[in-house]
């Protein structure tokens, strides 16, 4: 199990480009898949993106071309670069991790056993 802490959220104008960070402690991200999820007001939690420890990235259709997930293994940190934000991107963003590579269940929140506390991203127009 990893201890995860997100940061980088806040109030952002539409079209803005914040970067979220997910730092791990307790263990490294080695042999894990790290995912980003979000939950908007009145919405279900949804998968956004994921990256394996070997550097393969995957994205939900709703964010392809706008968001980028990447990592710095030396810092044991995974990032989510968010570009061209829209009002519908407003949500609490969570990072999470599970052991093993990316598979179909890596798009589902139940697969992950390590979660951060979340960071709020609010997009203003």
Is pLDDT at 26 greater than 90 in this prediction?
no
The pLDDT value given to residue 34 = 97
- Alpha-carbon dihedral angle through residues 55, 44, 83, 5, given to the nearest 10 degrees: -60
Strand ranges for 73-116 from DSSP E: 77-82, 91-99, 114-115
The SS3 call for residue 2 is: coil
For 60-114, the pLDDT digits (tens) are 999 999 999 999 988 999 999 999 999 999 999 999 999 999 999 999 999 999 9
The pLDDT value given to residue 62 = 94
Is pLDDT at 41 greater than 90 in this prediction?
yes
CB contact at 8 A, 71 and 55: yes
Q: Angle at Cα 60 formed by Cα 113 and Cα 3, nearest 5°?
A: 25
Q: In this predicted model, which residue has the larger pLDDT, 114 or 26? A: 114
The percent of residues in the chain predicted with pLDDT above 70, rounded, is: 100
When the pLDDT of each residue in the chain is averaged and rounded to a whole number, the result is 96
The SS3 call for residue 102 is: coil
């Amino acid at each position: 199990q990893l201890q995860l802490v997100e940061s980088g959220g806040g109030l952002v104008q539409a079209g803005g480009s914040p970067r979220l960070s997910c730092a791990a402690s307790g263990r490294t991200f080695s042999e894990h898949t790290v995912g980003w999820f979000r939950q908007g007001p009145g919405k279900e939690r949804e998968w956004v993106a994921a990256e394996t420890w070997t550097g393969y990235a995957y994205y939900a259709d709703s964010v392809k071309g706008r968001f980028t997930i990447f990592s710095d293994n030396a810092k044991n940190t995974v990032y989510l670069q968010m570009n061209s934000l829209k009002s519908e991107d407003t949500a609490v963003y969570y990072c999470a991790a599970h052991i093993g590579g990316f598979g179909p269940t890596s798009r589902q929140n139940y697969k992950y056993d390590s979660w951060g506390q979340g960071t709020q991203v609010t997009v203003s127009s």
